[in-house]
Amino acid sequence: MSKGGFDVRRQTGFTTVAVFCFVVLYLPIILLVLYSFNAGESIAIWEGFSWRWYVSAWENERVQAATVRSVVVALSASLIATSSAVLAALATTRTRPWRGQTLAFALINQPLMVPEIVTAVALLIFFALVKVWTGYTGLAYLIIAHSAFCLPFAYMPIRARLQGMDLSLEQAGADLYGTPFKVFRRITLPQLWPGILAGAMLAFVISLDDVVITEFVKSAGQDTLPTYMLGQLRRVITPEINAISSALLAISVMLVIGFFFLSRTPK
Amino acid sequence: MIEIEGVTKIFGVGAEAFTALDDVSVTIDANEFFTLLGPSGCGKTTLLRVIAGFIDPTRGRVTLDGNNLLNQPPYARPVNTVFQSYALFPHMTVAQNIAFGLEMLGKPGSEVTSTVDEMLALVRMTEMADRKTSQISGGQQQRVALARALAPRPKVLLLDEPLSALDFKLRKDMQLELKRLQSETGITFIFVTHDQDEALTMSNRIAVMNEGRIRQIGGPRDIYDHPAERFVADFIGDTNFLDVELLKVEGEQAHIRLPSGSEVVARAAQGGGRTGGEVTVAIRPEHARMDEAEGALFQGALSNVVYVGTDTHYHIDLDSGGQFIVRQQNQPDQRHERQVGERVGVNFGAGIGQILKD
Ligand SMILES: Nc1ncnc2c1ncn2[C@@H]1O[C@H](COP(=O)(O)OP(=O)(O)OP(=O)(O)O)[C@@H](O)[C@H]1O
Ligand SMILES: [Mg+2]
Kindly provide the ipTM of the predicted complex, given to two decimals. Answer: 0.82
Ligand number nearest to the C-alpha of B43: 1
Dist. CA A38–CA A240, nearest whole Å: 10
pLDDT for A9: 66
DSSP assignment letter at A265: P
**What count of Cα atoms within 13 Å lies in the side-chain half-sphere of residue A10?**
7
Q: Could you tell me the pLDDT band of residue A1, with boundaries at 50, 70 and 90?
A: very low
Mean pLDDT over B139-168 rounds to: 91
The answer to whether residue B176 is domain-embedded is: yes
| DSSP state string for A36-54 | TTBSSS-SSS---B-SHHH
C-beta neighbour count of A153 within 10 angstroms: 25
Q: Could you tell me the pLDDT band of residue B335, with boundaries at 50, 70 and 90?
A: low
The answer to whether residue B232 is domain-embedded is: no
The answer to whether residue B201 is domain-embedded is: yes
pLDDT for A21: 87
Ordered strands of the B289-291 beta sheet = B289-291, B343-347, B298-307, B311-318, B323-329
Dist. CA B162–CA B179, nearest whole Å: 13
Distance from CA of B25 to the nearest CA of A (A): 23
The answer to whether residue B230 is domain-embedded is: no
Question: Using one digit for the tens of pLDDT, what is the confidence trace for A38-79?
Answer: 888 887 888 888 899 999 989 989 999 999 999 999 999 999
The answer to whether residue B300 is domain-embedded is: yes
Strands (DSSP E) contained in chain B are 2-11, 18-28, 33-37, 59-64, 67-68, 79-82, 156-160, 188-193, 205-210, 213-218, 240-250, 253-257, 263-267, 277-283, 289-291, 298-307, 311-318, 323-329, 343-347, 354-355
| Same domain flag for B246 and B196 | no
Single-letter amino acid, residue A37: F
| Same domain flag for B188 and B274 | no
pLDDT for B336: 67
Contact assessment for residue A151 and residue A81, using Cβ atoms and an 8 Å cutoff: yes
Q: Of B75, B83, B90, which has the smallest distance from its Cβ to A177's Cβ?
A: B75
pLDDT exceeds 70 at position B106: yes
Beta carbons of A168 and B80 less than 8 Å apart: no
Q: Could you tell me the pLDDT band of residue B185, with boundaries at 50, 70 and 90?
A: confident
A60-263 has which CATH code? 1.10.3720.10
SS3 label, residue B120: helix
pTM over 0.95: no
> Worst-scoring range by mean pLDDT, B9-18, B315-324, B326-335?
B326-335
Dist. CA B227–CA B341, nearest whole Å: 32
H helical segments located in chain B: 44-52, 94-104, 109-122, 138-150, 168-185, 196-202, 220-225, 230-235
Closest CA to A147 of A91, A97, A201, A82: A82
Q: Which atom of ligand 1 lies nearest, measured to the CA of B39?
A: 25
Mean per-residue pLDDT over chain A, rounded: 88
Is the C-beta atom of B54 inside 6 A of ligand 1? no
- The dihedral sign for the CA sequence A73, A75, A76, A81: positive
Question: Which CATH number fits the domain that encloses residue B255?
Answer: 2.40.50.140
First to last CA, chain B: 32
pLDDT for B43: 94
Residues from chain A that touch B46, judged by Cβ atoms under 8 A, are: none
The more confident residue out of A96 and A56 is A56
> Worst-scoring range by mean pLDDT, A9-13, B152-156, B309-313?
A9-13
pLDDT for B183: 83
Single-letter amino acid, residue B143: R
pLDDT for A112: 83
**What count of Cα atoms within 13 Å lies in the side-chain half-sphere of residue B278?**
4
Dist. CA A85–CA A100, nearest whole Å: 17
Strand B343-347, strand B298-307: pairing: antiparallel
Domain boundary among B194, B225, B256: B225
φ, ψ of residue B47 in degrees (nearest 5): -65, -40
φ, ψ of residue B276 in degrees (nearest 5): -170, 170
Question: Using one digit for the tens of pLDDT, what is the confidence trace for B272-311?
Answer: 677 778 999 999 999 999 988 888 899 999 999 998 888 8
| Same domain flag for B250 and B221 | no
Cα angle B77, B79, B82; round to 5: 140
- What residues make up the domain containing B335? 238-355
pLDDT exceeds 70 at position A4: no
Dist. CA B334–CA B266, nearest whole Å: 31
| Same domain flag for B58 and B188 | yes
Question: Which CATH number fits the domain that encloses residue B44?
Answer: 3.40.50.300
Dist. CA A200–CA A17, nearest whole Å: 35
Question: Using one digit for the tens of pLDDT, what is the confidence trace for B10-24?
Answer: 998 888 899 999 999
Ordered strands of the B18-28 beta sheet = B18-28, B2-11, B59-64, B67-68
pLDDT for B181: 83
Distance from CA of A177 to the nearest CA of B (A): 4
Domain boundary among B198, B225, B252: B225
Residue of B44, B48, B208, B213 with the most ligand 1 atoms within 8 Å of its CB, for mutation: B44
Domain boundary among B165, B199, B225: B225
Counted domains in chain B: 2
DSSP assignment letter at B93: B
Ordered strands of the B188-193 beta sheet = B79-82, B156-160, B188-193, B33-37, B205-210, B213-218
- By the 10 Å C-beta count (0-12 exposed, 13-18 middle, 19+ buried), B269 is classed as buried
Cα angle A138, A139, A145; round to 5: 125
Question: Using one digit for the tens of pLDDT, what is the confidence trace for A183-240?
Answer: 999 999 999 998 999 899 999 999 998 999 999 999 888 999 999 999 888 887 888 8
pLDDT exceeds 90 at position B231: yes
First to last CA, chain A: 27
Dist. CA A195–CA A156, nearest whole Å: 9
pLDDT for A8: 65
Residues from chain B that touch A191, judged by Cβ atoms under 8 A, are: 90-91
Question: Using one digit for the tens of pLDDT, what is the confidence trace for B57-98?
Answer: 999 999 999 999 999 999 999 999 999 889 999 999 999 999
| Same domain flag for B168 and B67 | yes
- The dihedral sign for the CA sequence B173, B179, B185, B189: positive
C-beta neighbour count of A156 within 10 angstroms: 20
